[in-house]
Structure 1
Amino acid sequence: MPHGPDPAAPRPPREGGRRAHYSPHHAQQHQGAPRNSYAALDLGTNNCRLLIARPSDDGFVVVDAFSRIVRLGEGLAATGRLSEAAMDRAVSALSVCSDKLRRRRVSLVRSVATEACRRADNGREFVQRVYRETGIALEIISPEQEARLAVLGCHALLEPGEGNALVFDIGGGSTELILIDADHSPPRVIDWFSAPWGVVSLSETEPHVGSDREGLLGSYARMRARVAEGFAQFAARLTPGSQPGRLLGTSGTVTTLASVHLDLPSYDRRQIDGLIVPVTAMREISSRLAGMSVSERAELPCIGQERADLVVAGCAILDAILDIWPAERLGVADRGIREGILRSLMARDRAKVMM
């Protein structure tokens, strides 16, 4: 059975595109019976992701994983419903997950669905269909639960420092902004906000169109303005202080832009998870991508056809976040809800054993 390093273990920050030098951390198990396997499944507006892991003395080791872009929320903004084609794509991906759960003999799993199922008129009907056809019992979680799980899954990558920090998760249908007091372990959530803009919903309601670079940048400015309006209520509550605030992002947008920043020939999680990128570099990449056509963006190896039409919406959301939370550097996390679920499941089981 394959093993790997704990994806939620803290790693030395990496700056300016330099790869960190660190020794892989191998899980050590106590002697005795094999430890149970746990699974976390996150069905979002754009992606279906599964992570299966076993506990280790200092976290967990991943034994299997799966990720597929399913675009469950495609067309949702216009119709208020999940389309048949989108549901078929999601069920197909979930069937793969179901097979993996059986083969790995997972003892405890939590499967969650987020904004697309929350918003769709037929979201609960879809959940019932998933259970009938795959045996997976999806739980439609609230935006607050989503925000807290994201923090639990990625906070280990927050840069050391003082003062509050902002963690954000740009999804397909919504964006979660979480203000935390990082002096606690785990961090204490001070305030949070779920904005109704994600890469899919924003792309559909405020399309990025234009016949030339000037037109494309004008369209991008309108996208940013629309997001800023949605963030205004939360922005008024933020007080980052006199020093630039710490900032950590977990989403396909930040990992994609970080890959472009490093000019990677293909996505490499080992180089991205825990990377620290200057905010000025991320803004420059966002502006460059916003001035490109879809076909031009698709030629970039870390974007490709699957993300070419959605990445600009993510850039607009990221720019709006940088406007309301001034920071010099952005921490990049290729982890989030699934890792948060795994940690909570394992902690719950440990607590039962100690009772």
Structure 2
Amino acid sequence: MRLGVLDIGSNTGHLLVVDAHRGAAPLPAYSYKEPLRLAEHLDETGSVSQQGIDALAAFTAGAQRVAEEKGCEDMLAFATSAVRDSGNGDSVLAEVRERTGLSIAVLSGEDEARLTFLAVRRWLGWSAGRLWVFDIGGGSLEIAGGADEFPEIAGSLPLGAARLARQHFTVDQPDEDAVRQVRKEIRAEIARDAGRLLRHGAPDHAAATSKTFRSLARICGAAPSGEGPLVQRSLPLSALVEWIPKLTAMTREELSGLPGVSPSRAHQILPGALVAEAVMDIFELSALEICPWALREGVILERLDQIGDLT
């Protein structure tokens, strides 16, 4: 069957059209996306602004047209932390539903981590053993771990790259004291509940997914996306540690010239790097394998499993 998966993230609205059936890998057929930047369309009360709502409604209407043109039988629409954590999330989605007719579900942070873990588990397989998975989104950091298809531990922290950029990195080339303070806050947030994952023992495999991790891996020497998803890619901690002072000293224009970094996300690379470094340091990981599957694939896989259970 052909499915449309509409992912309303903190950075981007993304419709992924896939051909999928149970027991097979979802095959991407078409992609339609726009940089909504909902995490940056928050007013002083933490609510999504009318400008952000208008952008979301317009994108949703356009995505529906694309899905119809591409022959989608069903649309799976969900929103993550930008809407979940906003002060007016319910009214935002109610207005979008009134203007477009589409209901968008809000995933909890735990569900986001759980479904991302499912996608990574299916990609890496059972040979990965006990698995840890990390995902830096625009609004949150998801952490999950376990030995099965669904994690024993799944949680979300307010450490997304766009959120941190908006809160702490509003100017080019922040000074060392500012970076040190943000680094301290990030590490305290991650370490607060690190024991939930660590008490189950070290993983056999540690993986990361998301645009931020992929960009950081590319900066640190991983193969470009044009070489395909089957090429193994990793993010070594040693390389990242060497790059962070360089990223701190760069202007946004210089950052956008780095491999794997788009101009719209250049200001998020440094905070994303600080989160990635903290994750690997606190959980004592020398490297993370980059997985091409993430939340969208997890949503698709769970949907296909549900269909199969009904037949």
Asked if the contact 2:132–2:146 (Cα under 8 Å) also holds between the matched residues in 1, the reply is yes
Distance 1:245 1:221 in 2: 32
Which residue matches 2:305?
347
Task: Report if the CA contact (8 A) 1:163-1:245 is conserved.
Answer: yes
Q: Which amino acid aligns with 2:158?
A: P
8 Å CA contact 1:210–1:219 kept in 2: the answer is no
Aligned to 2:77: 111
Question: Which stretch of structure 1 is more off in the superposition, 202-211 or 155-164?
Answer: 155-164
Contact 1:195–1:230 (CA under 8 A) maintained in structure 2: yes
2:159 counterpart SS class: coil
2:33 matched residue in structure 1:
67
TM-aligned CA deviation for residue 226 of structure 1: 1.0
Distance of 2:213 and 2:297 partners within structure 1:
17
- The one of the two structures with greater contact order (alpha-carbon pairs below 8 A, sep at least 6) is 1
Aligned residues: 310
Question: Corresponding residue for 1:310?
Answer: 268
Match among 296, 303, 307 for residue 254 of structure 2: 296
Instruction: Please state whether the residue corresponding to 1:150 is helix, strand or coil.
Output: helix
Alpha-carbon distance in 2 for matches of 1:244, 1:59: 25
Q: What's the counterpart of residue 329 of structure 1?
A: 287
Q: Contact 1:112–1:139 at 8 Å: present in 2 too?
A: yes
Secondary structure at the aligned position of 1:342 is classed as: helix
- How far the C-alpha of 1:315 sits from its partner, in A, is 0.8
* Structure 1 stretch displaced more, 96-105 or 84-93: 84-93
Q: Given residue 299 of structure 2, which amino acid in structure 1 is its aligned partner? A: I
Pick the aligned partner of 1:196 from 152, 158, 163.
Answer: 158
**Equivalent residues in 2 for 1:132-171, closer than 5 Å:** 132-158=98-124, 164-171=130-137
Equivalent in the alignment of 1:88: 54
Alpha-carbon separation, structure 1, partners of 2:155 and 2:282? 13
Distance 2:64 2:42 in 1: 26
**Is 1:219 aligned to 2:178, yes or no?**
yes
C-alpha distance in 1 between matches for 2:139 and 2:155? 14
Within the candidate set 218, 221, 229, 1:262 is matched to 221
2:92 corresponds to = 126
Q: How does 1:272-291 map to 2 (within 5 A)?
A: 274-291=232-249
1:41 matched to 2:3? The reply is no
Q: Aligned equivalents of 2:231 and 2:98: distance in 1?
A: 36
- Larger-Rg structure: 1
Contact 2:60-2:100 within 8 A present in 1 as well: yes
Separation in structure 2 between the aligned mates of residue 50 and residue 268 of structure 1, nearest angstrom: 20
Aligned to 1:228: 187
Cα distance, 1:269–1:196 mapped onto 2, change above 3 Å: farther
Q: How far did residue 242 of structure 1 move?
A: 8.3
- Conservation of the 8 A alpha-carbon contact between 2:219 and 2:260: yes
Q: 1:86 to 1:217 in 2, by over 3 A?
A: same
Q: In the aligned structure 2, how far is the partner of 1:231 from the partner of 1:343? A: 29
Amino acid corresponding to residue 269 of structure 2 in structure 1: V
Structure 1 counterpart SS, 2:196? coil
State the 1:138 CA deviation.
Answer: 0.3
Query: Whole-Å Cα distance in 2 between the matches of residues 162 and 62 of structure 1?
Result: 24
TM-score (norm 1): 0.78
How far did residue 223 of structure 1 move? 1.6
Cα offsets for 1:51-79 (capped at 9, x unmatched): 22222553232222223221012153743
1:140-184 Cα shifts (integer Å, max 9, x gaps): 121111111111222234487676332011111111111222xx3
Compute the RMSD of aligned alpha carbons.
Answer: 2.7
Give me the whole-angstrom Cα distance separating, in 2, the residues matched to 1:303 and 1:162. 29
* Alignment-derived partner of residue 19 in structure 2: 54
The share of aligned pairs that are identical, in percent, is 24
Whole-angstrom CA distance in 2 between matches of 1:294 and 1:42: 27
CA distance in 1, matches of 2:221, 2:212: 14
Distance in 2 (CA, whole Å) between partners of 1:53 and 1:201 is 30
